[in-house]
Structure 1
Amino acid sequence: MDVFATRRFNFSASHRYWREEWSLEQNEAVFGKCTNRYGHGHNYELFVTVAGAVDPITGMVMNMVELKRLVTMVLDQFDHKHLNEDTPYFREVIPTTENLVRVLWGLIEPQLPKGVRLAKLRLYENSDLYAEYFGRQQQATFNRRYEFSAAHRLHAQSLTDEANREIYGKCNNPNGHGHNYQLEVTVDGLIDAQTGMVIDLVDMDRRVQSVLDNWDHRHLDYQVAEFAEQPSTAENIVVVLWQRLEALFGSQLKHLRLWETANNVFDYPLSQH
């Protein structure tokens, strides 16, 4: 059975989203600020996951020093470069996160030694946005993180007050408490040949915010219908969010991750892929 090993890399680059055959208005409607003629930049963070059998002599799937050398050699082509102007890969292709991670896959995979396969690349453009690629031609996943602030009280109506206090502790405070919730939404699909994106980011934001705006700065127990009869635990919250977002995204919605605090994280469904 394969073991998976991951190493993190960083590089800095600038890029611009623009289609010459589109009008200024159409470019700005689809790409927003990313159309800036001079470009903009990111500190990219790349996670490279390789897989294979553990070598019985070295005890490793792959020597991480060798993986570092190979990947760094690839990333040197992009580091401190303007992706559109300074690399040959994006003269005709828009350097979106999805397209960039797919190009990196094509450059890294052939460098790996025999018996080691490239399992996954995850590329962060910033801390709230990343794309993943698994070598499936034009298909990729796209993840975006959102935040909402809400109050709640953990209380099960079918239990006695004493039982609620015993189970929920401080979270059963009658006056409630609150969190800055963070929600990661993962969708997948084909990378659009024109936009270079799995999903229109503006439209994705609009759909997610149409749900979260009704939760933000609210008391979940009093102001969200689904929690009138069930405890507003993070487990229940992430399931309700899935139900609401699935109605908007359909089968393109693949995974939700809800951060209640830095220590408490909840995934639904468990398996993304």
Structure 2
Amino acid sequence: MSNRFYEVMVETQFSAAHALRHYRGQGETVHGHNWRIQVFVRGEKLDENHILVDFRTVREATEEVMHYLDHKHLNELAPFDKELNPSTENIAAFVFHQVSARINTPHCQVSLVRAWETASTMAAYGLS
């Protein structure tokens, strides 16, 4: 990609419980969060309708992933049910890959996912 691009973002949320494996501290016991998720999609050119991607397309793909995670104990869901810790970093990467698989085209790609665990703490996963 060149230095110039268009980018759109949708934001949503989900609530879930998790416990971090091999961690010593408050995060090692089961606890919950209301995660706020931001999905950024980037591309260099607009389509024939002069849009990068329909917000609805991004929102629907993201909501499918949120439905999988919402009101669940993440440690019981693949891929977090084995050794992959359901850390905020890994949640951001999971959402990135799941939404990418649903909407990426040669025209536009998911570029970044931010997962906010609290109002002041966030982890991100994306393209460099």
**Residue aligning to 1:226:** 79
Q: How many Å separate the matches in 2 of 1:240 and 1:145? A: 16
| Structure with more of its chain in helix, by fraction | 1
Greater length-normalized contact order (CA 8 Å, ≥ 6 residues apart): 2
Matched, 1:141 2:12: no
Structure 2: tracts of 5 or more residues without a match: none
Q: Partner of 1:232: helix, strand, or coil?
A: coil
Question: Contact (CA 8 Å) 2:100, 2:110: kept in 1 or not?
Answer: yes
**Residue aligning to 2:54:** 200
Question: In the TM superposition, what is the alpha-carbon distance from 1:155 to its structure 2 partner?
Answer: 1.7
Query: What is the percentage of aligned positions where both structures have the same residue?
Result: 31
From 138, 144, 154, the counterpart of 2:20:
154
**Residue aligning to 1:80:** none
Q: How many Å separate the matches in 1 of 2:115 and 2:27? A: 18
Q: How many Å separate the matches in 2 of 1:208 and 1:269? A: 15
Q: TM-score, normalised by structure 1?
A: 0.41
Matched, 1:170 2:26: yes
Q: TM-score, normalised by structure 2?
A: 0.83
**Residue aligning to 1:260:** 117
Q: How many residues align?
A: 122
**Residue aligning to 2:36:** 182
Structure 1: tracts of 5 or more residues without a match: 1-133, 157-163
Question: In the TM superposition, what is the alpha-carbon distance from 1:141 to its structure 2 partner?
Answer: 0.7
From 46, 57, 74, the counterpart of 1:191:
46
Q: How many Å separate the matches in 2 of 1:243 and 1:270? A: 11
Distance 1:135 1:243, change over 3 A: closer
Amino acid in the other structure paired with 1:152? H
Q: How many Å separate the matches in 1 of 2:88 and 2:66? A: 15
Question: In the TM superposition, what is the alpha-carbon distance from 1:252 to its structure 2 partner?
Answer: 1.2
Distance 1:213 1:226, change over 3 A: same
